[in-house]
Amino acid sequence: MKIAIIGAGAWGTALAASFGRSSEVALFSANSELVLSIKQERENKRYLPGVMLPDSVQVTESLVDALRPVSGIVLAVPTRGLRSAIKACQEQNWDQAPYLVTCKGFEVGSGLLPFQVVEEMSPKVQYGILSGPSFAKDVGARKPTIVSLASPEESSVGLFSDLLLRGDIRTYFNNDLIGVSVGGAGKNVIAIAAGMSDALGLGASALAGLVTRGLSEISKVGIALGAKPQTFMGLSGMGDLALTCFSDLSRNRRLGYALGRGKSVEEAEKALGQVAEGIHAAHEIKSLAARFEVDVPITSAITRILSDQISPNDVAKELFARAPKSEI
């Protein structure tokens, strides 16, 4: 059995190490320098230092070689690169094998969620969406991780579920694709707010309240789109939100912390050196909330900060001064 992983960032590398313990893996990147470095070191020192790849993982810059032939394809690319990654696989006549999609957020321009991009481009392909509280660093280090695998049918993710379990990752199936996807996108927005809260020194109590109300916002938008309410109490809702808001490994939390310390969005992004999906997700969720007449004060506040309309400190005062209302 062979698994192709498209994208050699932190997640692609972590999953290559995990799948490589029980299967042959081809890890693809178009970056020739990165490929050479990983081949020589057997380690991705740029994106996931400290995780050694097993001999079963072959690293290549040839998509033809990576896809010759495979039992499954992992699309470990940012949301903005998902469509082009699928197209590249189709051009090699490899859109029959099941996909495992690891990105979270909304596609820029179309506003589509990752599963909607897959269904638009490859309507007949079997696929799964990997979500839930999971950092690449933990997966690469073989630390116990529990995730959600979302798909229209449980049989579509059987191959990936089995391989993940062999790599110390427990999976739970969920057919609520909208709920899982909105949860994965929305948590990045609230993580930006969480980072700002800590940068401003607002304390643990404020942070807990912020995260709780943030979950309420995500849930309301998701339910308006057709998601199941209980999904937001699960791994891809509360679980992923807690991890992203409370850990400094979170890119979006670190971005928010930098903004809270007075950096501009451009300065914060540059210092981060990676994609922070929460920036685009904030604007998409605000737009969806307006369409369905859902109140999302935290998300709206984040979009104003990202647009340089207000400072994090003034937003904190503004949110706290809002008139009392019913919690539920």
Distance, CA of 181 to CA of 61 (rounded, Å): 30
187 is annotated as an active-site residue: yes
Q: Tell me the three state secondary structure of residue 129.
A: strand
Q: Tell me the three state secondary structure of residue 153.
A: coil
Q: Which two tokens stand for residue 196?
A: 């700002």
Taking alpha carbons only, the member of 76, 65, 62 closest to residue 24 is 65
Distance, CA of 123 to CA of 116 (rounded, Å): 9
DSSP string, 185-221: HHHHHHHHHHHHHHHTT--HHHHHHHHHHHHHHHHHH
Taking alpha carbons only, the member of 107, 134, 133 closest to residue 118 is 107
- Among 2, 187, 220, 286, the active-site one is 187
| Catalytic residue numbers, as ranges | 187
